[in-house]
Amino acid sequence: MGDNAFDLAPADDYAPSVECLLPLQTKAYETKKAVYLKTKTDDEATPYKYSRLELNMTVGKAKLIVDMTAVTNPDGSVNLKEDTIARQQYIAQCISEINASMKNDTVNDEQLKGEN
């Protein structure tokens, strides 16, 4: 899976908050920041889930535009390299759980993706 250090969440040194200072300038500029999250779960087998937020920010004189991508590994591994097959399996599992929790309605793949 990922040999790239960017794809591995750090083992420790997590802070309760993150501050990102963006100086105002006369011309718009872009900056990027990766933030790693460690979230405690109620599952003893997977006590933590690790995530990476990739923030792409465009800073203007009176405007801030943030494009954010989040990657989370639901199995609790620190490996955050996207695994397309595992992602599709996870989506299928989520659909199954949603359908099981609903009495008369079902949700299909297109509805979950917002295509219908």
- Order across the sheet with 29-40: list the strands: 29-40, 48-59, 64-73
* Pick from 6, 66, 3, 71: nearest CA to 32: 66
Tell me whether residue 108 is in a domain: no
Beta bridge partners of 57: 31, 66
Q: Could you list the residue range(s) of the whole structural domain that residue 26 is in?
A: 5-82
Please provide residue 81's backbone torsions phi and psi, each rounded to the nearest 5 degrees: -70, 130
pLDDT for the residue 1: 37
pLDDT for the residue 28: 87
pLDDT for the residue 27: 86
Q: Which residues of the chain have pLDDT under 70?
A: 1-5, 82-84, 86-87, 102-116
Tell me whether residue 65 is in a domain: yes
Residue 98: which residues within 8 A CB-CB, separation 6 or more? 107, 112
- Give the total number of structural domains in the chain: 1
Tell me whether residue 67 is in a domain: yes
pLDDT for the residue 2: 39
pTM over 0.85: no
Tell me whether residue 107 is in a domain: no
Q: Is 100 helix (H, G, I), strand (E, B) or coil?
A: helix
pLDDT for the residue 112: 65
Model pLDDT for residues 35-65, shown as the tens digit of each residue: 899 988 888 888 888 888 888 998 887 788 8
Tell me whether residue 95 is in a domain: no
